Amino acid sequence: MTTTLDIHPETPQPRLAAQAAKGIAAGQVVVVPTDSGYALACRLEDKDALARIARIRRDDGPHHMTLSVRDLSELGVYAKVDNIQFRFLKNHTPGPYTFILPATREVPRRLLHEKKRSIGLRMPEHRVLVAILEQLDAPILSASLAIPDIDEPLDDPELFPDSVRRQVDLIASAGFCEQLPSTVLDLTGEDFTVEREGLGGVPPELAE
């Protein structure tokens, strides 16, 4: 039976954030709130949970996953960042951005973009997700809660259909959380590019 934790969106209860983190650490697939809606999350190292998320979303592989970290120092463990990239990241984190960056050897090969050897990283601002990351003391992999057979937005755990609940182990509910795509910024080349304009908008440095 799926467990639902009602976590306060502004002042997350440490006990409940710790329970969600414990589930992720134990290999569970957990629904978590993010800056851009609810997402399916698991540990970076957990192949089985990763495969479950791909089946739920009917993805053709794990490359659709994003790595969420707590701060820039942790981001540097998983991405190769030069001084120019670092300054850009510092100006636009935390928030609803996904940054495509060259990955380090700490990232499993199965998660990398085949050609660029890159990974999508986020530093979230949502207080519940930040609390869970702090309790876990490690990054998490996540992918938006999107299921092909369900047309309505999955933005309120109280209204999640049974078909969603049956496929996950735990739901960290922060109430209504609107589903809006993050802005995706590719920082792998000399010129940074906007891959998708979303919730964060286009940074002034990249606006035409």
Give the start-to-end residue ranges of the domains of the chain. 3-201
Share of the chain above pLDDT 90, in %: 79
Name 200's bridge partners.
none
144 phi, psi to nearest 5 deg: -55, 145
pLDDT at 63: 61
Q: 170-173 and 97-102: which strand pairing?
A: unpaired
Q: 97-102 and 66-68: which strand pairing?
A: unpaired
| Cα–Cα distance measured from residue 28 to residue 141, given in angstroms and rounded to the nearest whole number | 12
**Tokens representing 105?**
């050897």
| Cα–Cα distance measured from residue 146 to residue 39, given in angstroms and rounded to the nearest whole number | 8
CATH architecture assignment, domain 3-201: Alpha-Beta Complex (3.90)
Instruction: Please write the tens of the pLDDT for every residue from 128-149.
Output: 999 999 999 999 999 999 888 8
Mean pLDDT for the chain overall = 92
Instruction: Please write the tens of the pLDDT for every residue from 15-69.
Output: 999 999 999 999 999 999 999 999 999 999 899 999 999 999 988 765 678 999 9
Share of the chain above pLDDT 70, in %: 96
pTM confidence score: 0.93
Burial of 76 (0-12, 13-18, 19+ CB in 10 A): middle
